Structure 1
């Protein structure tokens, strides 16, 4: 059964007007596996508002990091958006979830494909040595609507520089042209071969793909990948595509 601890907001960093990173200090060590999530909670008027968010920080980092997009008519994200350093927030424990690399079979390449805030668990994974030890090639693909939604780019580019020839980063922007980015939707870019061409790699049965984010993207990408011979990964029947629906 989940329990709650009280943390303290140490930073609320705005990537743009709607997208922000909420960083939280908790009073005791917080163990988790990269890719897992917790619930954040706020009490107001005798009622607890809560929602699940993936941990963006690495397991070795004592400051918890959450990437959040404000939904103006939502009950919870506008409250998080308004939090300031020093304010209290509740964090559920223990962390949970199976969208982790230990659920992913062996392969030559690892394709980490996300839309929006779905990039969060991948960033946590990439702070660890696990992906670099297991896969010869790692591709981080982040699809957003506008270029200013591409969060954590300085950190990502630093990782790319530290792992030349092994880690690559491909942004995808759907609603405007952006330097260095592909334009379009992930499923179409896979279907048309544009994603493979941009990364100079092949989505074949030696590839492991993780999909996280928009359910429409996941549904359509799964179908395109299945048509290419990459089935969904299940514990009872290992495959090539591991998924996490983000809302």
Structure 2
């Protein structure tokens, strides 16, 4: 049951004609980087709500969400019309287990994401705890087109201060201008992700967080399973932590 609080839109950034971010001022309970909450609007007399992960770290003065406008969606088209000063409903109780609390300490952390699922990873990367738990952190972001590689300024800021951080942009429908071309699963299977980073991904030194559409999560998990990496469970720690993200 959602606990709705009325928030105010304080900024809207359009990255492409479909991808956009909104920043919201709202009073909500403290959250952990990687968690999500629900946003809602009144549409034709009915409150429509969907879950979205925080892009901002827990200590930020605002709450940021990264979205893609879906033409036939119930909520993203009206969300795409929001302007600074508009009202928006926010669930005051964040939730979710896609956090560092669920990931054992290790030498490497691989963050594999597609599309807007990069959002929770940006929140985690802004949390100092990640740099206490891992010596090397690799953020892999798979998109269709080069223009979809958003948040470049924020990523550059992280690279400037964290020597153990690497960013791997992956573009599937055209030649990548700054990274790799293809799909994350294929590049992982053929060893190109490791070649690009100079790091070896294996159970003794690696943790992997996967966030993306269900098929990507399933296929990537299967590939990692074939290499000896298993799902993390509280009763049985492993190497893989996942979140399905539409």
TM range (shorter): over 0.9
Mapped partners of 2:82, 2:75: distance in 1? 11
Contact 1:115 1:144 in 2 (8 A): yes
Listed as ranges, the matches of 1:38-187 within 5 Å are: 38-164=37-163, 166-187=164-185
**Could you say which residue in structure 1 is the equivalent of 2:7?**
7
2:206 aligns with 207
Shift in Å, 1:47: 0.6
Match of 2:189 in 1: 191
Per-residue CA deviation, residues 131-179 of structure 1 (Å, 9 max, x unaligned), is 1111010001100001111111111011011112x01101000001122
- Equivalent residues of 1:29, 1:62 under 8 A apart: no
Paired residue secondary structure (1:156):
helix
Q: TM-score, normalised by structure 2?
A: 0.97
Number of matched residues? 245
Listed as ranges, the gaps of 5+ residues in structure 1 are none
1:20 maps to 20
RMSD: 1.0
Moved more, 83-92 or 40-49: 40-49
Q: Does 1:225 align with 2:224?
A: yes
Q: Once superposed, which parts of structure 1, at least 4 consecutive aligned residues long, lie more than 3 Å away?
A: none
